[in-house]
Amino acid sequence: MAVTEPAPAPPSTHEGILLRQSLRESAARTYARALPIVPVRAKGLTIEGADGRRYLDCLSGAGTLALGHNHPVVLEAIRKVVDSGAPLHVLDLATPVKDAFTTELYATLPPAFADDARIQFCGPAGTDAVEAALKLVRTATGRRGLLAFTGAYHGMTAGALDASGGATDVRVTRLPFPQDYRCPFGVGGERGAELGARWTENLLDDPKSGVPAPAGMILEPVQGEGGVFPAPDTWLRRMRRITADRAIPLIADEVQTGVGRTGTFWAVEQSGIVPDVMVLSKAIGGSLPLAVIVYRSELDAWQPGAHAGTFRGNQLAMAAGAATLAFVRTQGLAARAATLGARMLGQLRALAAAHPVVGDVRGRGLMLGVELVDPFAEPADPPIPPPAPQLASAVRQECLDRGLIVELGGRHSAVVRLLPPLTLTDEQAAAVLDRFADALAAAERSTRPKR
């Protein structure tokens, strides 16, 4: 006789949703693994989970939320479109919303660039805009090869992956991105950057280098996923000169560095360089998906339909994005990111001085990174301790336990990354750093080798 089992108690919303996610979603899911949170409400820096817990969100949708969650100007812009009766799907047709977005975006670009720029609306992810940029310069130059950098991250589609640091594609020539702490030349600073630039020049000018004239060079002004490495301004200017002198289009991937994040509206402004192509996504959609490339009109040699896609007309994203761009511009949030970021960098460095597990603290504006290392490892040559990814994930977990969301990055996932919204107040910054300091101390205690 069949025994009727009592129905299992329904799992709580929080646990049930997480359980169902783990049973149904792909093994390739990412953030969800380290952050078992079920967000149900969010405002500014704060996310509230289905379990009632509150978190300070310093991941900000992987650097997307310049104004934090659900900023009033963003919500108002979205509501206005919804209430207006405007169509939500329009392919790449002209609309008043798109026109206003483009006008606002052009107002933020370096004038020397905006005056002679074309814009291509891409599929809604940064990686699609990277593909478009590569296609654009390949068509315009008639060449195939690409110059890209160690540690780069440009996305997850094939061309963008090729250009990223993990790739093995031979059409991409890999050049050293300047880094002080683990300088490939062992010297760091301006000298390390100078040696990298000389290597680049040499490859391009040596007829037997095995590097044919490339279609373009793609770089991030501050590498984000690669571990938070700001490129020195002199090096960026040198890359601009090297590429300009050899008629190689320079593509600045500002997907993560744009919209005030690094202390100027666009990160390239700090070095004063004007690239040939800018790849823009994340914050330009004001939390909704939007990606474009903007480029010198001379490169506009591709054919109609050369980079098509159904979802290139997200009206809500354009409205939210235009409102975000205007707010960052009129409220001076880039300058605020510069000041607050410099202060937080100083405070993190002071904290590092008391913690030998912190190997390096770096960043620009509100794009900050703390590299964790194993200070007990055998000294290497040069004597830089090895990265400590396990400790980094312990820090991330301790942060989460204290209601602080951070992410890891870097070659070995040993860099704790802080990407708070540009609207962060002084009090919130202090709360973030307090929780981080506590979490660091706890993780250090729990992983310290017993002697």
Q: Which residues bind ligand PMP (CB under 6 A)?
A: 62, 125-127, 130, 153-155, 220, 224-225, 253, 255-256, 281
**In DSSP terms, which residues pair with 296 in a beta bridge?**
117
| Nearer to ligand PMP among residue 260 and residue 385 (C-beta) | 260
**Min separation Cβ 317 and ligand PMP, Å:** 12
Calpha distance 31→75 (Å, rounded): 25
Pairing relation of β-strands 229-230 and 222-223?
A: antiparallel
**Min separation Cβ 128 and ligand PMP, Å:** 7
- Residue number of the CB closest to ligand PMP reads 126
Residue 137 CA: distances (Å) to CA of 204, 312, 330: 17, 20, 33
Number of residues assigned to the chain: 451
| Nearer to ligand PMP among residue 279 and residue 357 (C-beta) | 279
Calpha distance 50→426 (Å, rounded): 28
Q: What residue spans of 206-332 are helical by DSSP H?
A: 233-245, 315-330
Q: Which of 185, 295, 175, 297 is nearest to 239 (CA)?
A: 175
| Nearer to ligand PMP among residue 385 and residue 409 (C-beta) | 409
Pairing relation of β-strands 216-219 and 404-405?
A: unpaired
| Nearer to ligand PMP among residue 204 and residue 265 (C-beta) | 265
**In DSSP terms, which residues pair with 408 in a beta bridge?**
416
> CB of 368 within 8 A of CB of 344?
yes
| Nearer to ligand PMP among residue 262 and residue 428 (C-beta) | 262
**In DSSP terms, which residues pair with 322 in a beta bridge?**
none
Residue whose pair of structure tokens reads 């903007």 in the numeric block: 294
Reading the block at residue 106, the tokens are 């052009």
Instruction: Assign 43 to helix, strand or coil.
Output: strand
Calpha distance 260→450 (Å, rounded): 45
**Min separation Cβ 82 and ligand PMP, Å:** 24
| Nearer to ligand PMP among residue 74 and residue 218 (C-beta) | 218
| Nearer to ligand PMP among residue 161 and residue 394 (C-beta) | 161
Reading the block at residue 193, the tokens are 């950057």
Q: What is the dihedral of CA 427, 430, 436, 441, to 10 degrees?
A: -140
CA 325 to chain centre: 17
In which element (H, E) is residue 32 found?
helix 31-34
**Min separation Cβ 222 and ligand PMP, Å:** 9
What are the start-end ranges of the E strands in 114-185?
117-121, 146-149, 172-175
| Nearer to ligand PMP among residue 155 and residue 421 (C-beta) | 155
| Nearer to ligand PMP among residue 138 and residue 261 (C-beta) | 261
**Min separation Cβ 59 and ligand PMP, Å:** 11
> CB of 292 within 8 A of CB of 124?
no
**Min separation Cβ 119 and ligand PMP, Å:** 17
**Min separation Cβ 174 and ligand PMP, Å:** 16
| Nearer to ligand PMP among residue 127 and residue 428 (C-beta) | 127
**Min separation Cβ 413 and ligand PMP, Å:** 14
**Min separation Cβ 259 and ligand PMP, Å:** 13
**Min separation Cβ 256 and ligand PMP, Å:** 4
Measured in degrees and rounded to the nearest 5, phi and psi for residue 408 equal -105, 150
**Min separation Cβ 226 and ligand PMP, Å:** 9
| Nearer to ligand PMP among residue 121 and residue 153 (C-beta) | 153
Residue whose pair of structure tokens reads 């310069």 in the numeric block: 137
Question: What share of residues in the chain are helix, strand, coil (percent, to 5)?
Answer: 40, 15, 45
**Cα end-to-end span (Å), the chain:** 62
| Nearer to ligand PMP among residue 60 and residue 256 (C-beta) | 256
